[in-house]
Amino acid sequence: MTRLLAAASSSQQRRYLTVSRASAADAGAAKPAARGGRRVGAALADDDDDAANNKKAKTSSSPQQQLIDTNPPRGTRDFFPEDMRLRQWLFGRWGEVSRRFGFEQYDAPVLESEALFVRKAGEEITEQLYSFEDKGGRRVALRPEMTPSLARLVLSRGKALPLPAKWWAVAQCWRYERTTRGRRREHYQWNMDVVGVAGVEAEAELLAAMSAFFADVGLTPKDVGIRVSSRRVLSAVLRLNGVAESEFARACVVVDKAEKLPREQVVSELGALGVSAEAAGAILDAMRCESLDALEQQLLARAGGGGGGGGGGGDNGSDENNAAADPSSSVREAVADLRRLFDLAAAYGYGDWLVFDASVVRGLAYYTGVVFEAFDRKGELRAIAGGGRYDRLLGTFGGADAPCAGFGFGDAVIVELLRDRGLLPDTSRASVDDVVFAMEEGRRGDACAAAARLRASGRSVDFVLEPGKKLKAALKHAERLGAARVVLVGGKEWDERGCVVVKDMAARTQEEVRAEELR
């Protein structure tokens, strides 16, 4: 089984290496492993189990020896070559979609200043931060997401950055999560973000890219849907229910948990933000509306603003003051934004992937407008991807605000989904074009030259390095690698005619080729 999602391989055995004390002390990398022995398969196990295993590791070592746990820390993965092939395939597909949409790639350090991720809205992500003090006494953190780093990069360029900027990245992210199927302590996340576009045209383009990726890998709208809503709708609901604007971000984080927590707990957490029980009930009811029309009617009735109608522009956040003064115009604008997004999706041709769902809030405090979440239609897996509009994040870092929208798309759930649907490519075998084999050790120099010639012409070549290997074993090795050809250097073909023998592995034919004509 591939291990891109190694959490699923709970049957994996603990891996221990015995090393002498002297070599363990010499090998810096060995120390943490010996102290904190954890395992990939244990990602599904309890901490108690981990503690017991650590104890075992300590007690079973003799005074001269200690056991090194060769497993990576809990919730993290090793990528063996077969895992890397799958990972590279996935990253390649992400990169290909990003390229087709005209986005530019960027990157940033995994280690960032902790301050970048400290937000006070009670989000899970900030509670799960891997943070520590470095040797210089600075508070640093392993990034749990890419968006604050993107904001930092955008701010550092200031006005010199031509807008709109459309950027993409694949970033390793770290969250101290309870590991489950599709949730790990480290994951890779494809990010696409648009900076500098205030209207839902940005979200429409982002969702076009996301659905293009799904279609590229063979998924259909029957497998995957993308739930869409807007924080502006929720903000209107909160405003209508008397929640102070300063509490919106916190309230959104609470409402996001509504599906996972008992209703009373949500009502009580909202109560702590000054929301009455009646208002909390109204908020939760609005979140259950199944259509935009129904939601609009319900909210306008409560706002006393009369019946439906489109009204408002697609310009997120442009009329905050008007909206605050007139809740019904705020509702109309939020709903108009969503209508326009659905119209654009239909024009692009990916409308079938989208579903309006008023309950989508997303757990990150910084979203200000449209929010969305890709989900498995069978309902077996966690969210596949998520994103939205965040027009005020830059301002929270002390810079000038710029309208931004984007998404993050993890590697874990999508691999589970593709595996379940039989859509993963076969990456079990390495692939090389040619295997070059010296028939006699005396011909190794000539074989080196043949391999160099082939490589210079762009072919990938596995050169058989072990002296004295038998031809039969070399051919078997070539078959296992899936090589297209085997090039044999030596024998009478070489001695008498200066030729190598090129075997075509698929056609089971062979021909003599002059060494200088090999390509």
Which residue ranges make up the site for ligand HAM (CB under 6 A)?
125, 145-147, 175, 177, 183-184, 187, 189, 191, 193, 364, 383-387, 406-410, 412-413
d(CA 42, CA 53): 10
Measured from the CB of residue 125, what is the shortest distance to ligand HAM in angstroms? 6
- Helix, strand, or coil (residue 193): strand
Measured from the CB of residue 151, what is the shortest distance to ligand HAM in angstroms? 10
Asked if 168 contacts 191 with a C-beta cutoff of 8 angstroms, the reply is yes
Measured from the CB of residue 96, what is the shortest distance to ligand HAM in angstroms? 19
- Nearest CA among 131, 132, 156 for reference residue 144: 131
Measured from the CB of residue 186, what is the shortest distance to ligand HAM in angstroms? 8
Check residue 180 and report its DSSP letter: B
Residues in the chain, overall count: 519
Our CB check for ligand HAM shows the closer of 387 and 490 to be 387
Measured from the CB of residue 102, what is the shortest distance to ligand HAM in angstroms? 17
Our CB check for ligand HAM shows the closer of 74 and 239 to be 74
Determine what percent of the chain falls in helix, strand and coil, rounding each to the nearest 5.
45, 20, 35
Our CB check for ligand HAM shows the closer of 303 and 415 to be 415
Our CB check for ligand HAM shows the closer of 4 and 487 to be 4
Residue 66 in tokens:
């200690």
Our CB check for ligand HAM shows the closer of 206 and 432 to be 206
Asked if 109 contacts 150 with a C-beta cutoff of 8 angstroms, the reply is no
Our CB check for ligand HAM shows the closer of 305 and 388 to be 388
- Nearest CA among 42, 41, 30, 43 for reference residue 70: 30
Measured from the CB of residue 145, what is the shortest distance to ligand HAM in angstroms? 3
Our CB check for ligand HAM shows the closer of 165 and 499 to be 165
Measured from the CB of residue 118, what is the shortest distance to ligand HAM in angstroms? 15
Q: Which pairs count as long-range contacts for 290-298, CB under 8 Å and 24+ apart, including other chains?
A: 290/356, 290/358, 291/356, 292/335, 292/338, 292/339, 292/342, 292/356, 295/233, 295/335, 295/358, 296/331, 296/332, 296/335
